[in-house]
Structure 1
Amino acid sequence: MELKLAWRLFKRELSQGQLLLIILAITLAVLSVTGLASVSERLQLAINGQASKFIAADRIINSPKKIDPAVLAIADDIGLSRVTSMQFNSMVYAGDEFQLVTVRAVEEGYPLKGNIELSTGVAQGLPSADNIWFETRLGGLLGYPKQIEIGNASFGLSKEIVRLPDAGFNPFASSPVVLMRIEDVDKTQVIQPGSRVTYLYQFSGDSAKLDAFEQQAKPLLNTSQRWVDVQSGDSPIASAVKRAERFLLLASLLGIALACAAIGIAAQRYCQRHYDVVAMLKTFGASAKQIRVLFGTHLLLVTAVGVVLGLVGGFGLDRAITSFLPAEIAAYSPPISRPILLGIGTGFISAFMFSAYPLMRLLAIPPLRVLQGHLEGLQLGMWLHFLLSLTAMAILGYLYSQSLPLTLTVVAAVLLLGLLLSVLGFFMIRLGHSVGMKTTNPLQLALAGLRRRARQNAVQLVGFSSALVLLLTIFALRQDILNEWQKQLPENAPNYFLVNIAPEETNAIADFLKPHVKIPPVIYPVIRGRLTAINDELLISSEQKKTGEEGRVGISRELNLTYRDSLPENNEIISGSFNQDINDVSVESGVAERLGLVLGDSLTYTIDNQTLTVKVASIREVHWETLQPNFFMIFTKEALAPFAYTSMSSFHLEDSQRSVILSLIKQFSTVSIIDVGAMVMQLRQIIEQVSLSLTLVMVLVLLASALVMIAQTEAGMASRQRELAVLRTFGASGWLLRAATGLEFALLGTIAGVLAVIVAEFTLYLLKTQVFELNVYMHWPWWAIAPLCGGLVVASLGLWRCRQLLNKSCGELLKAH
C-alpha cells in the first residue's frame, strides 16, 4: 500500500513540476562528478601519454645488471610491449682521432613511445647491422670519418641523430651519443666482468596492465634497481604532469563538494514542502512506519531519476568536450566504469546523507500542524545535519581522490565556511532586525526581507559561497600553475648549451654570441669535486653502509661545483644569506635535507687531490624544471680560485639562425654544443595541452557553479510569492518590489563574496603549501572584485527568476498562491 501511494505521489509531483529542484540538484551532482571524472581521466591519460615520450615508454626498470627473467615473464603474461637497451661509456677511434662516447645499444622495437629524430627526418627502424647512428657533434669532433672503431669492431657512420626521445636533459653529460643494435655489442668485446653498464627495460601498455605489472614486478626489484615513469623526476616534464594531475583531481573533488551542497539545499526544500502532507497523513491515522516507507520510497525514486539523468548528461558532456579537444588527446579512451560508479555513488550517498536530517524533521511533524501551521515538531540541532553532510563529503572525496591531503583541505574549507556562516553570515543578515517591516524605500524592504528569511538566506549563502569559493580557488590555481610553467619555459628559453669552454675561450665566446642573442649568456665555471666530510666527520658511501660500516652517508659521486657573486635566476634563498664571506657555500635544499645540513655546518671537499673546507651560509630552493644550468653547491670565487675549471653556458637562438651554430663549431672546435631545441618544443606542446585541459576543466566548474546558483534562487520562490502577494495587497508598487528584490539578492551575493574570499584564501594556502608546492600570496583585488561580482551575479539571477512573479498583479499572485 505504501509503495503504491509513494508511486502515485511521485507521478503527481513529477507531472506538476514540484520535484524539479531536487531532481535538478541530484542530476547536477551526478552530471558534475561523472562529467568531470570522465574528462579529467581522459586528460590525465593524454598528459601522461604525451609526457611518456620523454622516456620512450610508459615504465622503465633501470638496473646495473640484467634483471630476473621472472620480471620480464610477468610483463609478457600481462601483455605489455617491451624492449631492452644497454647504456655504457666507451672510447671510439677514427684513425688518430679518439673520443669518449655514450653508447646506446637497443633492440628492435625501440622506441616504444616517441621517435628518433635524424638530420634527414624521423627515423624508420634502427641502424642496420655493423652500422651506428651518431650525434651530430661527434662527426665534427672526429672529422666526419666513414668508419669508427669501438673495441674490437668497426662500424660505419651512417646517419646523424638530432635527438633521441629518452635522451633526457643533462648539460654536464658532454659525451656524444651513438646508437647501435644490441646484438652488435658482443662484437666489440668492451663489456667485461666489472664493466659499468646500465640496463634499461622499457614497457608500454594501457593503464590497467601497467598497474598490474607494477604491483607484481616492484616487489621483485632490489635496491640497486629503479622503477621509472614520467613522474619519477627523471623527466623534465615530471613536475608539470604532477601538478596538472593534482589540479584535475582537485577540480573534480571540488565538483563533488559543490554537488553535495546543491543536494543538501534541495533536500531541505523538498522536506519543507511536505510538512503539511505528513501532518495530514498522521491526522488520517497513518503510522510512523507507513510514512517512513512512503517518503523513503519517494526519495529513492527521485534519486534514481536524478542519477540516470546525471549519468546521461555527464557522458553527453564528456562527448561534447572531447569533440573540441585536439586529436592526440581525444584519441585516449579511459574506462567508463569508474565515472559511472562514482556518479551513482555520489547520487545515492549524498542524497541519503544530506537528506537524513531534513527527513528526520519531516517525519517528526505533529498532526496538530493541520490547525497550527507554524509547528515543525522535533527541533534537532543543525550540528547533526552539518556532521552528516561533512561525513558524506569526506567519504566521497577520499573514495574519488585517494588523496588524504586534498580531501582534508576540502573538509577544512567546508568547516571554515560553516563557521563563518554561523557567525558572520547570520550576524550580517540580522542587521535587518532594527528596520522591522518598514517599506518606505527599497533598501529597508530588502533588509527586512533578509531578516524574515534569515534561516532560508543562511542556506542560500551556503550555495552561493560554495560556488564562489570553487571558482576563485580553481581560477587562482590554474593561473598560478600556468604562470609557473611560463617562468620555466619563456619564449626565450635556452635551446643551446655550451660545455667544455676553456678559460681562455670564455671572453671570445661571449663576444661571438653578443650580436646574435637578445639576452647575453651567463657563463658558469664548472669544477669537479667530491664531498668527503661534514663537521670533520668522514663520509661513507651507501654501499659501505650496507656492509655494516658505521658513519654518515654522503654523496657517492663527484659533484659539479661553481662560483657566483650573486644568486642565479630560478634560485631562492630559504634560510641564511648568500655567500658573504670567502669560505661560504650555498647548498641546494634537497641535498641539505638528504645530508641533514644546517646553517653553520662545516663541509670538506676534495678537489684535484686538494682539500677545501667551507661553511654552509645559506640553503637555496632550486627550480630544476627550468632548462637552465643549476648547481647543488655554489661557492665564492676566491674559494675556488686555486682550482682548474672549464665553463658552460646556455643561450637562445631562433631557428633561422642555425648558421651561427655552424660558425661557432668551426671557430671553437673543442667546445661541445648541445641542442635542446627539440626538447623545448616538445615540452611546450605538452604544456599547451595541459593548459587547454586546465581551461576546459575550469569552464566545466564555472557551468556547474552557475547551475548551483540558479538552483539556489529557485529554493525560495514559494515563500517569496506569498510575501509579494501580501505586499501588493498593501499597495507596494512594482518598482519598489523589483528594487527591493534586486537589493536583497545583491546583499546576499555581496555577503557570499566576502565569505568566499576568506575561505578561498585559506584553501589556497593549504593547497599551495601541502599539495602544489607553489608560492603563497594574498589576492588583494579579490576583496573588492568578489563581493561586487557576487552581488551583481546573484542579483541578476534573482531578478531573472523572480521576473514572472514581479510582473503579476495582486489578484494573479493571490490566485496562484
Structure 2
Amino acid sequence: MNVLRHAARSLRREFLAGDLLTVFAALVLGVAAMTAVGTLVDRVTSALSSSAAEVIGGDLGVRGRQDLPAEFAAEAQRRGLRSARMVAFPSVLFHGEASQMATIKGVDAAYPLRGELRVASDAGGLDAQRAGAPAPGEAYADPRVLDALGVGIGDEIEFGSSQLRIARVLVAEPDASGELLQMAPPLLVNRADIDTAGLLGPGSRASYRLMFAGDLADIAALREWLQPRLDPGQRLVGLEDAQQGLRNSFDRAGRFLALSALLAVLLAGVATALAANRFALRRIDTVAILRCLGARQRDILAALALQLLLLAIPACVLGIGIGMLAQVALVEALGSLIPARLPLPQAAPVLSGAGIGLLLLLGFGLPPLLRLRGVPPMRVLNRSFAALPPTSALAYLAALAATVALAVNATGDMQLAMWVLGGLAVLALLAAAVGAALLWLLRRLQDRLHGPWKLGLAALTRRRSLAVVQLVGLSLSLCALLLLAVIGPGLLGEWRDRLPPDTPNHFLLNVQRDQAGAVEATLRGIGVADPDLQPFGTGRLVAINGQPPQRAQRDAGDPDDDANRPINFSWRHTFPQANTLTAGRFWTADSATAEASVEEGWAQRYDVDLGDTVTLLLGEQERSFTVTSLRKADWDSFRVNFFLLLNAGAVDDAPYSLISSFHLPSGRTAQLAPVAREFPNVSVLEIDAILQRVREVIEQVAQAVQLVMGFSLAAGVLVLLAALQATAGERRYDSAVLRTLGARHGQLRGAVLVEFGALGLLAAILAVGAAAIIGTLVSRQLFELALSPPWPSLLAGGAGGVLLSLLAGWSGTRRILRTPPALALREG
C-alpha cells in the first residue's frame, strides 16, 4: 500500500464532502487569528524596546521633585559619559488677553542626548529639520500654543516675569514620542530662561531630570554608583521605563484582542474535533475493507494522518497570509495607539500561528482517528466497532494543554487565558454531566411519550455519546459567540461610559488656604457648580505597624529603602466620589479619631490591612493613624483621588495646599485667565485634549477588536455547523428505516425538530448562564470594569441559538426526505 499516494488521492476525492472542508476552514481561522494578534503584539513590543533610548532621551537618567545634585553629573563626566539637565512643569502663557496652559520644558545646551529634536519655520512643519536646544531668550512652541495665543514665529509671549521670542515651531521631541496623554502642548525653552522668569518658586510642580548617554558598560557602572546615593524622592529612569504610558494604554487593547484570539483558537479546536470525529466515523467501513484486503493497521492510520497533514499545509499557509493582512488592518485601526515606526514582522509570531494550526490538527483531529485502530475486518459483516482507546483521551488533554501554552505565549496574558479557558472548561464538564443526566432521565420517561416527541427524544437517548458531544459543542460555541457578540461590546460600552459628558476636564493645583474663598467665588462666577477644593498634603511615610515600610512589589530602579518615602494625602469628613468601599467602615462626619482610609492598590503594595497603623511625618510631627477602611478608587474618572485619606477631625495642623477638579464646557477655558493672573501660584490644567484622546483610544480599540472578533465569530459558526451535523449520517439511516416502515414526512420532520430543539434549548440555557458569569468575572478581574450581565441581549442570543438549531434540523430533514430509503440504507 503506497501511503502517500493513497492519502493524496483520498484527500482530493473527499475534500469537498464536508468534514475535511470544515477542518480546513477551522485551521485557517485559528492560524489567522493567532498570526494577526501575535504579529501585532510582537511588532509593538519590539518598537517600544528598540526606540526606548529615544523615548527617554538617553540611556539612563535620574528624576526627582528637586534639582538633582551636581556630583551626579560630575561623576558621569569622570566616567566619560555625556549628561543633560531638564526640568518640566505646567504653566500658563500669555499674549495680550489670550492665555494658554502649556507644558514648559527647560533644557541645557547638551540636549538631546539621544534621538532627534526637529523644528520648522512654518506652522505646518513642512520644512522640519534637526536642531539643538533653543538659545537663551528663544523658544520652540507647539502649533497649538501658537493657535491659542494668536502668535507666529518671531512674536514674543509673556513668560513669567520676562519675555520669550518664538523662534521655531516644535515638530518632534525625542523624549516625548508616543506620548498618548500629554497634559498640555509643550513649549521648549532654555534652562537659563526658567531661572530668569522666576517660575520655580516654592510649591511649583516641577519634575527635574538628569540624563546620561554613553557606552553601555559605563552606563551600567554608573547605575550601580547612583543606586545607593539616591534620596527617597529620587528614582532612576531606565530603558525599561520607556513608553510606560503607551504600554499601559496598549495593555487593555491587548487584553481585548487576546480574548477574541483565544476564543477563536478554542472554537477552531472544537470545530476540528467534531468534524474529524465525523470524518473518522465515516471511514470505519473503508478501514474495514482495507483490512480485509490485507492492508496493515499502521499503514491505514499513517495514510489517514498524512491526509490530515496534507490538508494542514495549505490551511496554515492561507491562515498565515490572512493573518498578516489582518494585522495590517489592525495597525490601521489602532492608529496612533501604537508607535509610528513599527519594525517589519518577525518569524516567531508566524511560527506560533502555524504551530497553533498543527496542534489543532494533531491534537483535535488525530484522536478520532485513533478509534480506527480497533476496527476489525469482521466489521464488514457484523458492524462491530471497538471503543475509544485511553490514548485518545490523553492525546486530547496533551493537545489542549499545548494549545493553551502556545496561545498564552502568543498573546502574553496567562491570567486572561486561565479565566476564559477555565470558565469554558467548566461549562464543557457541566454540559456533559447535565446532558448525561437528562438523557438517563429521558430514557425512563420515553415510554410515556407519543408521536414526534417520542421519536425525537428516542434518537437522543439511542445515541447518548454523540448527543453529549453535540451538547458540549453547541454550549461552547454558543457561549463563545455570546461572549463575543454581547459581552465584548458590553465591555467596550462600559469603558466608554467611564467618561460621561460631564467628566472633569480642568484641574486647579497649588491653591493656598487664604485664597480658597476668592478662587471658589471666581469658579462659581464662570459656571462651575461645585469647585470642591480639597486639601493636598505631602508628608513622609515613616512606619507601618511600627516597622519601616517595605513594599511587597518594587518597581525597577526604586531604592531598596522605603522609609521616609514621600507620600501625598488628603483629609475629609465624608466618603469621596469615584471611590468604592471594599472593606471596613468609613468614619462619621463628627469623628475626631486618628483614622485612615487606604486605596486597595496601595494597601496591596505595602501589605496593609484593616487595623494596621500607618505613621506619617506631617511637617515636624510624627502622627499615627489606624486603618479602618479600604476602598477602590476609580482612577479613570479624572476626579481628585488619593491613595491615603485621613480623618479631617484628627488633622488640623498639617501643611497643605488645595486642589480641585471640575467640568467646564469646551471653549470656556479662557474664562479661567483671571484666576491665573490674580493668583500666579495657582496652576490651571486643561485636559480636554486628554479626554478626547482617551475616547479616540477606546474607539480605535473597538475597531480592532471587532476585526479580530470576525475570526472568532466565523469559528463559532463552524462549531455550530459541525456539532449540528455530527449525527447527520445516523439520522439519515434512522429516517430511511422509519420511512420504510411507513412513517410520514410530518412525523420525521417533527422528530428531528424535537431532537434539535431539545439540544438547542439546553445548550442555550447553559451558554447564557456561563456567558453571564464568565463575562462578569473577566470584566471585574481583568478589565477593572463593573459590567452587569446584559440579560436582554444574552437571552436574545440564546433564543437565536435555539432558532439556529431548529433551522439546522429542518434543513437536515429536507435533505433526508429527498434521499430514497434504499440509497440511505445502502449508505448506512
The alignment's TM-score, normalised by the length of structure 2, stands at: 0.77
In 2, distance between residues paired with 1:324 and 1:440?
Answer: 57
1:688-740: CA deviation from partner (whole Å, max 9, x where unpaired): 21122223223332222112212333332222222222233333333333333
Aligned to 2:354: 344
> Secondary structure, in 3 states, of the residue corresponding to 2:378?
helix
| Residue type of the alignment partner of 1:704 | A
1:277 aligns with one of 282, 286, 302: 286
| Residue type of the alignment partner of 1:366 | P
In 1, distance between residues paired with 2:4 and 2:352?
Answer: 30
> Secondary structure, in 3 states, of the residue corresponding to 1:804?
helix
Aligned to 2:584: 576
Aligned residue pair count: 768
In 1, distance between residues paired with 2:413 and 2:298?
Answer: 41
Change in Cα spacing, 1:669 to 1:411, as seen in structure 2 (3 Å) is: closer
| Residue type of the alignment partner of 1:253 | L
**Pairs within 5 Å for 1:669-688:** 669-688=680-699
1:645-701: CA deviation from partner (whole Å, max 9, x where unpaired): 431212222333233123443455553212222233223222221122223223332
In 1, distance between residues paired with 2:770 and 2:512?
Answer: 56
| Residue type of the alignment partner of 1:28 | A
Offset, 1:378: 6.4
Q: Is the aligned partner of 1:472 residue 2:482?
A: yes
In 2, distance between residues paired with 1:91 and 1:300?
Answer: 66
| Residue type of the alignment partner of 2:668 | Q
Aligned to 2:231: none
Matched-pair identity in %: 26
Change in Cα spacing, 1:472 to 1:522, as seen in structure 2 (3 Å) is: farther
In 1, distance between residues paired with 2:691 and 2:60?
Answer: 25
> Secondary structure, in 3 states, of the residue corresponding to 2:382?
coil
Q: Is the aligned partner of 1:592 residue 2:595?
A: no
In 2, distance between residues paired with 1:738 and 1:107?
Answer: 84
Change in Cα spacing, 1:644 to 1:364, as seen in structure 2 (3 Å) is: closer
Q: Is the aligned partner of 1:133 residue 2:143?
A: no
2:397 aligns with one of 377, 387, 394: 387
In 1, distance between residues paired with 2:719 and 2:471?
Answer: 11
1:561 aligns with one of 560, 564, 569: 569
In 2, distance between residues paired with 1:378 and 1:816?
Answer: 23
In 1, distance between residues paired with 2:604 and 2:770?
Answer: 33
| Residue type of the alignment partner of 2:289 | M
Aligned to 2:203: none
**Pairs within 5 Å for 1:30-429:** 30-38=28-36, 41-42=39-40, 57=55, 63-64=61-62, 65=72, 86-87=86-87, 103-105=106-108, 128-133=134-139, 179-180=188-189, 198-200=209-211, 222=224, 223=227, 224-227=235-238, 235=245, 239-315=248-324, 335=345, 337-376=347-386, 380=390, 383-384=393-394, 386-429=396-439
Change in Cα spacing, 1:378 to 1:565, as seen in structure 2 (3 Å) is: closer
Aligned to 1:545: none
In 1, distance between residues paired with 2:403 and 2:699?
Answer: 33
Offset, 1:415: 3.6
Change in Cα spacing, 1:485 to 1:597, as seen in structure 2 (3 Å) is: same
Offset, 1:467: 1.4
**Pairs within 5 Å for 1:730-745:** 730-745=741-756
Offset, 1:468: 2.0
> Secondary structure, in 3 states, of the residue corresponding to 2:565?
coil
In 1, distance between residues paired with 2:381 and 2:218?
Answer: 70
In 2, distance between residues paired with 1:397 and 1:63?
Answer: 37
Aligned to 2:556: none
Contact 1:532 1:606 in 2 (8 A): yes
Change in Cα spacing, 1:726 to 1:377, as seen in structure 2 (3 Å) is: same
Offset, 1:316: 5.8
**Pairs within 5 Å for 1:510-521:** 510-514=520-524, 516-517=526-527, 520-521=530-531
Change in Cα spacing, 1:120 to 1:651, as seen in structure 2 (3 Å) is: farther
Mind listing any 5+ residue stretches in structure 1 that lack a counterpart? 74-81, 95-99, 204-212, 543-548
> Secondary structure, in 3 states, of the residue corresponding to 1:133?
strand
Aligned to 2:20: 22
Change in Cα spacing, 1:489 to 1:612, as seen in structure 2 (3 Å) is: same
In 1, distance between residues paired with 2:40 and 2:648?
Answer: 51
Aligned to 2:65: none
**Segment drifting more, 508-517 vs 609-618:** 508-517
Offset, 1:257: 1.3
Change in Cα spacing, 1:119 to 1:564, as seen in structure 2 (3 Å) is: farther
In 2, distance between residues paired with 1:219 and 1:793?
Answer: 67
RMSD of aligned residue pairs (Cα, Å) = 5.2
In 1, distance between residues paired with 2:367 and 2:530?
Answer: 68
1:67-121: CA deviation from partner (whole Å, max 9, x where unpaired): 9899999xxxxxxxx99763379999x9xxxxx9863448677996999999978
Offset, 1:226: 3.2
Contact 2:503 2:638 in 1 (8 A): yes
Change in Cα spacing, 1:410 to 1:645, as seen in structure 2 (3 Å) is: closer
Change in Cα spacing, 1:146 to 1:710, as seen in structure 2 (3 Å) is: closer
Aligned to 2:662: 651
Aligned to 1:489: 499
1:138-166: CA deviation from partner (whole Å, max 9, x where unpaired): x9xxxx8778899xxx9757689999958
Offset, 1:617: 1.7
Aligned to 1:620: 631
Aligned to 2:703: 692
In 1, distance between residues paired with 2:182 and 2:564?
Answer: 18
Aligned to 2:2: 2
Change in Cα spacing, 1:88 to 1:256, as seen in structure 2 (3 Å) is: closer
> Secondary structure, in 3 states, of the residue corresponding to 2:55?
coil
Offset, 1:771: 4.0
**Segment drifting more, 157-166 vs 247-256:** 157-166
In 1, distance between residues paired with 2:803 and 2:512?
Answer: 65
The alignment's TM-score, normalised by the length of structure 1, stands at: 0.78
Contact 1:541 1:553 in 2 (8 A): yes
> Secondary structure, in 3 states, of the residue corresponding to 2:625?
strand
Offset, 1:399: 4.0
Offset, 1:603: 3.3
Aligned to 1:459: 469
| Residue type of the alignment partner of 1:271 | A
In 1, distance between residues paired with 2:487 and 2:213?
Answer: 34
Q: Is the aligned partner of 1:446 residue 2:456?
A: yes
Q: Is the aligned partner of 1:433 residue 2:443?
A: yes
Contact 1:464 1:749 in 2 (8 A): yes
Q: Is the aligned partner of 1:529 residue 2:535?
A: no
In 1, distance between residues paired with 2:680 and 2:773?
Answer: 57
1:334-389: CA deviation from partner (whole Å, max 9, x where unpaired): 61634532332222222222244322220221111111014336654874454344
**Segment drifting more, 739-748 vs 431-440:** 431-440
| Residue type of the alignment partner of 2:730 | S
Contact 1:464 1:709 in 2 (8 A): yes
| Residue type of the alignment partner of 2:512 | A
In 2, distance between residues paired with 1:474 and 1:636?
Answer: 45
Change in Cα spacing, 1:105 to 1:811, as seen in structure 2 (3 Å) is: farther
Offset, 1:624: 2.9
Change in Cα spacing, 1:811 to 1:286, as seen in structure 2 (3 Å) is: closer
Change in Cα spacing, 1:273 to 1:314, as seen in structure 2 (3 Å) is: farther
Change in Cα spacing, 1:537 to 1:300, as seen in structure 2 (3 Å) is: closer
In 1, distance between residues paired with 2:695 and 2:212?
Answer: 28
Aligned to 2:66: none
In 2, distance between residues paired with 1:722 and 1:70?
Answer: 89
Q: Is the aligned partner of 1:633 residue 2:639?
A: no
Contact 1:574 1:621 in 2 (8 A): yes
| Residue type of the alignment partner of 1:570 | A
Mind listing any 5+ residue stretches in structure 2 that lack a counterpart? 63-71, 95-102, 150-155, 201-205, 228-234, 553-558
Offset, 1:496: 1.7
